[in-house]
Structure 1
Amino acid sequence: MKILYQLKIGDFAPSESSRSFTKEGYLKCVNVRLAKAPQVRQYYAYEFPSLEGFTADQIINVYTPADELFKPESVSSFSNVDTTDYHPPKNEINASNWKDYHIGYCENVRREGDYLVGDLLIKDKTSIDLIQSNERIEMSLGYAALLVLENGTAPDGMPYQAKFINFIGNHVALVKYGRCGGDCRIGDQNPTPQEENTMEVEVNGIRFDIGDNKPLLDALNIQKQQLENLKAAKLKVGDKQFSIGDELPAVQAVVDKLHTDKATLEQKVGDLEKNQMTPEKVEQAAGERATLIADAKALVPTVKTDGCTCEQIKRDVIAAKAGDALVGAVLGSVAVGDANLDQVDTVFRALSAVKGVQPSNPVGDALHIQQQQPTQVGDQNPNPDQSKPSSKKDAWKEKL
């Protein structure tokens, strides 16, 4: 029984090509081998998330028939697709992520013998340097396809458990190691052939000769490619994007900052809730202001209160009472405008407490009493008990 699975695949294949630069500094790679068919390639079952009946670490031989890869519609689907440095997440370039992964184009895709061939125009300077230093010289196709579960044998005698059909191209990726071996990589016009029956693999920067053990080489290359893909993956935190491979400290710093900001915001929310003006607090504040205005008017009847804050009213009253000994005793040499809120509040409370008590002033009291006594003028005798002289003859005696 045949079972079909719709998949998005990132395949790897080596390539030979010629390189040249455009006047803009772009790298033109002509006759790049993108893929090969017929061919059986090995995959781990976990690379097909919807696949049933296999354990995650089980290796599956998947056959790519030539008549499927080289269908006219399959070949044309790879023309003018994006070129990327490694595969994007989910092996798909779309409108939301192409700016993050696009480094150039693949064009003029065609069949040449057993190979799918195309021309690359690489525009990204970093990727160009990686190609020129042979760090990125192998190719990997990114495509959607149907996976048919069926047992069979390829023309070269290799057994398989599934095959791909109905290829739809999405992108082509530069990778360090391809799944198909060494046939499809970006080379130069005079590639150096490898020695017969000699295979090398690089692990942590150290190269090992594994003879002609191709399955081991393929397995190691697959593992290494998966690690490279993981390192190249992008992680988005807020409005920032990081490379998982070499920016973990920066990611941690952003996460820590987000945690700190969250704690700060929670504290601010708590303070706002604590200081929120409830109807009871509004009523209390209105009562306190009314009392303040009454005290201020009692101290300085002409003080302005409309449109003024409570603090301003207090300062205006104190300024009007600047000559009062009580003000000087509290503020000392501090000007009213320079006094802090606690000093202003203390002076105003003190003035309000004594606003009904008049200070003792003996001189002023005497003058006030004198002003209240009647003044006698004209011929009236200021002293009613003093008798009037009886005659002019005796008048001189009164003067003495």
Structure 2
Amino acid sequence: MLLHDSVSVSAVRRTTDGYLVAEARVARTGIQDYLGTEVGKPEMPIVRLYRPPEAVFAEDAMRSYAYRPMTNGHHGDVNAANWKQLAVGQTGAEVLRDGEFVRVPMVVMDAAAIQDVEDGRRELSMGLEAIVVFEDGLTPEGEPYDARVESMRMNHLALVDRARGGEQLRIGDQRSPGPNTPAHPTHNGGHPMADSLRTVLVDGLSVLTTDQGAQAIEKLTKQLADAGVNVKTLTDAHTAAIAGKDRELAGKDNEIEKLKGQLLTDAQIDARVLARGDLIGKAKSIADADYSGKSDDEIRKAAVVAKLGDAAVAGKSADYITARFDILVEDSSDPVRTHLKAQDGQIQNPNDNGQAAYETRLTDAWKGGAQ
């Protein structure tokens, strides 16, 4: 995990060849405040990180302060691949413990960086790799903390405008600030935080972040702009896409609920089977035909047409056809009406109970005697 410490520079001098030489306290024990995003805990606004003496003054840690590259501002990890582009100087070999601090010599060799120091950019921030253990605890002085450093190794030392260490991290008894170096208010026992943050405008929103966070945001914003990407347009499109998916899912849920309502119980299925069989049986009593694959209305219509012809249903409503079907079913199940059908297939008066046939026989009786 890469962390950034901070100190102030004073008691500086220039060499005959123009380099700037100084000594500085570059690390200390105690608690320092970090943004949760800086230490891999974005859910925590502030993390109180405790650096115990056994971690700060460990032999490996002390050796790692020597011969570290200096940079003008933080640039992440500094290594052999980018040293030539980033380094503006380096730390020396005489690393000393100074009470609760670590003191190192340093030399700034780049002319632009030297000018920045003389103009007031005098604070230093250590870039270090550390193993951080998250735990709630108390320092020997009774201060609460959220995490502690278990081991640490320096990567580089950066010149910055404002950093985490505060005014107490300086060389000598008198401060020698440049014209642009304001005093730093502190909190939580002298661990400044607000002065190490910047406000960056992102898509119309003010975001409070560190110098490193601001650099990352500005770099990403520039890359998007160079690619012709509008952040607001992307956000609006993303929001619209999510809303569309939500509507689609809501529609699917409604369809599922409707389908659930259409599912039949076993009793309902049995009733449907019985009703279907009864309907086909009635249709076959009118006209013996194949009624498979037809709806109920189609079965009734087919039976009526088979018995009476297409003209009987032409232009008629489903209710009319159902009524005609019921009449034909009634006729097919009444033996008297069946017996009284005329030769043309037309039914005579169903209410005469054979009276018309009796009268016809009486009227024609004389014809048989004349022969």
**TM-score scaled by length of structure 2:** 0.51
Distance apart, 1:244 and its partner CA: 4.5
> Which one of the candidate residues 30, 47, 65 is aligned to 1:60?
47
Counterpart in the other structure of 1:94? 79
How many percent of aligned residue pairs carry the same amino acid?
25
SS in 1 for 2:8: coil
Distance apart, 1:158 and its partner CA: 1.6
Letter matched to residue 99 of structure 1: K
Distance apart, 1:161 and its partner CA: 1.4
CA RMSD of aligned residues (A): 3.4
1:112-191 equivalences under 5 Å are 112-134=98-120, 136-185=121-170, 190-191=174-175
Structure 1 130/230 Cα, relative in aligned 2: closer, same or farther at 3 Å? farther
**TM-score scaled by length of structure 1:** 0.47
- Alignment check: 8 A CA contact 1:9 1:144 kept: yes
Task: Measure the CA separation in 2 of the matches of 1:209 and 1:25.
Answer: 30
Counterpart in the other structure of 1:48? 39
SS in 2 for 1:224: strand
Counterpart in the other structure of 1:220? 194
SS in 2 for 1:79: coil
- Alignment check: 8 A CA contact 1:82 1:105 kept: yes
Structure 1 228/145 Cα, relative in aligned 2: closer, same or farther at 3 Å? closer
Counterpart in the other structure of 2:26? 34
C-alpha distance after superposition, 1:255-297 (max 9, x if no partner): 68xxxxxxxxxxxxxxxxxxxxxxxxxxxxxxxxxxxxxxxxx
- Alignment check: 8 A CA contact 1:18 1:189 kept: no
C-alpha distance after superposition, 1:320-357 (max 9, x if no partner): xxxxxxxxxxxxxxxxxxxxxxxxxxxxxxxxxxxxxx
1:190-269 equivalences under 5 Å are 190-191=174-175, 218-224=192-198, 226-229=209-212, 244=219
Task: Measure the CA separation in 2 of the matches of 1:72 and 1:165.
Answer: 13
SS in 1 for 2:197: helix
Letter matched to residue 36 of structure 1: R
- Alignment check: 8 A CA contact 1:140 1:172 kept: yes
Task: Measure the CA separation in 2 of the matches of 1:159 and 1:99.
Answer: 42
Structure 1 168/218 Cα, relative in aligned 2: closer, same or farther at 3 Å? same
Letter matched to residue 33 of structure 1: R
Distance apart, 1:175 and its partner CA: 1.3
SS in 1 for 2:7: coil
Structure 1 71/25 Cα, relative in aligned 2: closer, same or farther at 3 Å? same
4+ runs deviating over 6 angstroms: 205-210, 251-254
Structure 1 102/158 Cα, relative in aligned 2: closer, same or farther at 3 Å? same
Task: Measure the CA separation in 2 of the matches of 1:69 and 1:227.
Answer: 23
Distance apart, 1:101 and its partner CA: 1.6
- Alignment check: 8 A CA contact 2:34 2:48 kept: yes
* Structure 2 alignment gaps of length 5 or more: 200-208, 229-371
- Alignment check: 8 A CA contact 1:140 1:173 kept: yes
- Alignment check: 8 A CA contact 2:33 2:191 kept: no
Structure 1 46/102 Cα, relative in aligned 2: closer, same or farther at 3 Å? same
Task: Measure the CA separation in 1 of the matches of 2:191 and 2:65.
Answer: 28
Counterpart in the other structure of 2:4? 10
Task: Measure the CA separation in 2 of the matches of 1:216 and 1:67.
Answer: 21
C-alpha distance after superposition, 1:20-76 (max 9, x if no partner): 11121110012x110111x11111221123x4xx61x52111100011111121111
* Structure 1 alignment gaps of length 5 or more: 1-6, 194-204, 236-242, 257-400
C-alpha distance after superposition, 1:185-231 (max 9, x if no partner): 4x6784269xxxxxxxxxxx997996x75689833223239453356
Task: Measure the CA separation in 2 of the matches of 1:209 and 1:86.
Answer: 19
- Alignment check: 8 A CA contact 1:8 1:142 kept: yes
Count how many residue pairs are aligned between Structure 1 and Structure 2.
Answer: 216
SS in 2 for 1:140: strand
Distance apart, 1:184 and its partner CA: 2.1
- Alignment check: 8 A CA contact 1:74 1:167 kept: yes
- Alignment check: 8 A CA contact 2:166 2:190 kept: no
Letter matched to residue 145 of structure 1: A
Structure 1 180/189 Cα, relative in aligned 2: closer, same or farther at 3 Å? closer
SS in 2 for 1:75: helix
- Alignment check: 8 A CA contact 1:139 1:184 kept: no
Distance apart, 1:124 and its partner CA: 1.0
